[in-house]
Amino acid sequence: MQDNPKKNPSKPVKRYPIRCFECGKEEVRPALVSQTVKRNYEGKTHELEIQDLPVTRCAACGEIYYTQDSDDKIVSALRTYIALLSPEEMRGRITNLAMSQREVAIALRIAPETLSRWLSGSLIQSRSMDTLLRAFFELDQMRDFVSGPARNSVKPLEDAGGLLRMPVGPSQTWQRLSKAGTSPIVGMGLIPSSN
Ligand SMILES: [Zn+2]
């Protein structure tokens, strides 16, 4: 079998064992380890105890190298630890609303790419966005609020010349919601709770 790596430089084939950066021995292979991993989220460091974390490990010196699979598992553990909506939950809720991802992104004034990355698990949402998502999925009034008069006052994102324009809910929206008795939304601080 000819396998000159120079023939196909753009497609490195991962073959094990590979050489260890630490000790130089060709002893690095996939392994599952249990580890305490530290991750930052919103300015705070969280320690996560993770079982069966997929890594590659050097059998000679014990050095451990993280892979994309390691990162995926760590991000997923962090999400569970902070009790954020999982990508599966978000996808399920969007399906239940019979909305497209794009419609949800436009309603929430977020870039469709951002939502797409939350749904693929490659990006973790902030807690405030998680709260907004939960309210959007849970409350009819919330969807009415972001899709109603406020939405009509702004062009769709793709027509806004690249600017993300955040419309301020008109006062009649506030009055309408106020009459409908939407105290949960007021309680979330989305609308000033003045008299
Ligand atoms: Zn080594």
- All structural domains of the chain: 29-83 (3.10.20), 85-158 (1.10.260)
* DSSP bridge pairs for 64: 57
Comparing CA positions, the residue from 85, 5, 79 lying closest to residue 42 is 79
What is the structure's pLDDT at 121? 87
Whole-number Å distance between alpha carbons of 55 and 32: 6
Spacing, Cα 6 to ligand 1 middle (Å): 25
Spacing, Cα 76 to ligand 1 middle (Å): 28
pLDDT above 80 (res 63): yes
What is the structure's pLDDT at 160? 43
Spacing, Cα 18 to ligand 1 middle (Å): 10
Q: What's the pLDDT tens digit per position in 67-104?
A: 999 998 999 999 999 999 999 999 999 999 999 999 99
Spacing, Cα 19 to ligand 1 middle (Å): 8
Spacing, Cα 121 to ligand 1 middle (Å): 31
What is the structure's pLDDT at 122? 83
- The pLDDT of 18-36, averaged and rounded, is 96
Spacing, Cα 17 to ligand 1 middle (Å): 11
Spacing, Cα 69 to ligand 1 middle (Å): 20
Going by pLDDT thresholds of 50, 70 and 90, the confidence category of residue 159 is very low
